[in-house]
């Protein structure tokens, strides 16, 4: 049976590869894409999701625009890693398909509550503002949701925006704290695992060689990341963050998870957005699962295969 899924994202070059992989996956029933301000402004992320939808020829999937700013903070941004418009070197165009009517948070509530409990998964690739708003609006949502697969957080690897914090959690730590405390069942792809999944030259070249527009676009995103990661961080092969969420939904065996309890620092300016990952929990009753290991070759093989079979 197809896995029903909503993707909440802030494209973003790595969001783009995750979205294109999901659009190209026939075993996912993609109910909606919701967008949020994060890497670039909310207006740009909503436009970028529609551009990617058009490239993938998936106009059947509604795109809902979401929160323009975090719950309590000023909007940040990560344009240096994603390009000013959020899609690397790709020159944005006005997509044909409009945004759907309604809010991202409203769409999450409506789509999830209209279906059997536990049946709709959520892949969260950006700050968790939309999901926090949805959980506030519908108190029974947490119990009704299927797995919430999140890209966010850092433990052993340290942070990528500050010493302590990963960008998505840091950008809206208050939303993340609410979501982690909500009782949702969460699979968490933090930097400890996404840093294991490296876009090597050979892996990018394999995607680039595919004939589909989805693959060519994803390869352009990976090339852009390769350049900025070399320039800014000094890494030869940059990490692939957001597509790990989609990869887990398609093939969970590619990852090792540990049951845990995660709390988010919201008070300290120094450690804002730090994810405290506590492994000393009752494993049988844990809500949170921290990814510790990823099969990078398997993840790239999966993504490459899907992008090759898409539009």
Does residue 192 interact with ligand BDR by CB under 6 A? no
Bond before 12 cis per omega within 30 degrees:
yes
Query: What is the x/- site pattern for Ca ion, positions 77-116, by CB under 5 A?
Result: ----------------------------------------
Nearest-approach distance from CB 211 to Ca ion, in angstroms: 27
What is the distance in angstroms between the CA of the first residue and the CA of the last residue of the chain?
22
Does residue 125 interact with Ca ion by CB under 5 A? yes
Half-sphere exposure of 4 (CA within 13 A, CB side): 14
Contact predicate 306/21, CB 8 Å: yes
Strands 255-264 and 186-189, sheet pairing: unpaired
Q: Of the two residues 144 and 172, which places its CB atom closer to ligand BDR in the complex? A: 172
Candidate segments 3-11, 138-146, 156-164, 209-217, binder of Ca ion by CB under 5 A = 3-11
Cα dist from 234 to 226, 239, 243, 305, whole Å: 10, 12, 22, 29
- Nearest-CB residue to ligand BDR? 167
* H or E element in which residue 4 lies: strand 3-9
Cα–Cα nearest to 244, from 2, 12, 22, 5: 22
Nearest-approach distance from CB 38 to ligand BDR, in angstroms: 7
Cα dist from 125 to 129, 212, 230, 268, whole Å: 11, 24, 23, 24
Does residue 81 interact with ligand BDR by CB under 6 A? yes
Does residue 15 interact with ligand BDR by CB under 6 A? yes
Contact predicate 46/35, CB 8 Å: yes
The residues in 37-76 that bind Ca ion, with binding defined as CB under 5 A, are: none
> What is the chain's Cα-based Rg?
17
- CB under 5 to 8 A by kind: which of Ca ion, ligand BDR, none does 78 bind? ligand BDR
Nearest-approach distance from CB 246 to ligand BDR, in angstroms: 12
Residues near 49 by beta carbon (within 8 Å), at least 6 away in sequence = 9, 11, 19, 33, 35, 63
Q: Of the two residues 125 and 296, which places its CB atom closer to Ca ion in the complex? A: 125
Does residue 160 interact with ligand BDR by CB under 6 A? yes
**Count of residues in contact with Ca ion, rule CB under 5 A:** 6
Q: Is 241 a catalytic residue?
A: yes
Does residue 125 interact with ligand BDR by CB under 6 A? yes
Does residue 241 interact with ligand BDR by CB under 6 A? yes
Does residue 126 interact with Ca ion by CB under 5 A? yes
Give SS3 for 168. Answer: helix
Candidate segments 49-57, 99-107, 161-169, 279-287, binder of ligand BDR by CB under 6 A = 161-169
Chain CA centroid to CA 67, Å: 15
Q: Of the two residues 88 and 95, which places its CB atom closer to ligand BDR in the complex? A: 88
Does residue 15 interact with Ca ion by CB under 5 A? yes
- Measured CA to CA, the distance from residue 190 to residue 258 in angstroms comes to 12
| Active-site choice (82, 144, 195, 241) | 241
Q: Of the two residues 144 and 223, which places its CB atom closer to Ca ion in the complex? A: 223
Cα–Cα nearest to 124, from 75, 166, 92, 87: 166
Does residue 8 interact with ligand BDR by CB under 6 A? no
> Which residues bind to Ca ion, rule: CB under 5 A?
10, 12, 15, 125-126, 242
Catalytic residues: 241
> Which residues bind to ligand BDR, rule: CB under 6 A?
12, 14-15, 39, 78, 81, 125-126, 151, 160, 166-168, 241-242
């Amino acid at each position: 049976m197809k896995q029903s899924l909503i993707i909440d994202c802030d494209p973003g070059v790595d969001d783009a590869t995750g979205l294109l992989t999901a659009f190209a996956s026939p075993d996912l029933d993609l109910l909606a894409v919701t967008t949020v301000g994060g890497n670039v402004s909310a207006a740009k992320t909503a436009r970028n999701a529609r551009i990617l939808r058009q490239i993938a020829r998936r106009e059947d999937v509604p795109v809902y625009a979401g929160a323009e700013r975090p719950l309590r903070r000023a909007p940040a941004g990560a344009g240096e890693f994603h390009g000013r418009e959020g899609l690397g070197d790709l020159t944005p165009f006005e997509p044909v398909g409009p945004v759907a009517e309604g809010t991202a948070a409203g769409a999450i509530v409506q789509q999830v509550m209209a279906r059997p409990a536990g049946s709709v998964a959520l892949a969260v690739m950006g700050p968790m503002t939309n999901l926090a708003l949805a959980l506030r609006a519908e108190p029974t949502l947490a119990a009704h949701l299927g797995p919430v697969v999140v890209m966010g957080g850092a433990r052993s690897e340290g942070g990528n925006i500050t010493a302590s914090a990963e960008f998505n959690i840091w950008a809206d730590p208050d939303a993340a704290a609410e979501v982690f405390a909500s009782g949702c069942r969460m699979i968490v792809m933090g930097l400890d695992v996404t840093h294991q999944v490296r876009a090597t030259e050979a892996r990018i070249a394999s995607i680039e060689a595919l004939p589909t527009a989805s693959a060519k676009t994803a390869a352009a995103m990976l090339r852009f990341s390769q350049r900025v990661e070399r320039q800014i961080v000094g890494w030869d092969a940059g990490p692939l963050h957001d597509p790990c969420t989609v990869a887990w939904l398609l093939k969970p065996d590619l990852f090792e998870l540990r049951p845990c309890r995660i709390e988010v620092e919201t008070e300290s300016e120094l450690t804002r957005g730090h994810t405290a990952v506590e492994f000393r929990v009752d494993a049988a009753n844990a809500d949170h699962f921290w990814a510790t290991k990823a099969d990078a070759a398997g993840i790239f093989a999966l993504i490459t295969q899907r992008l090759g079979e898409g539009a």
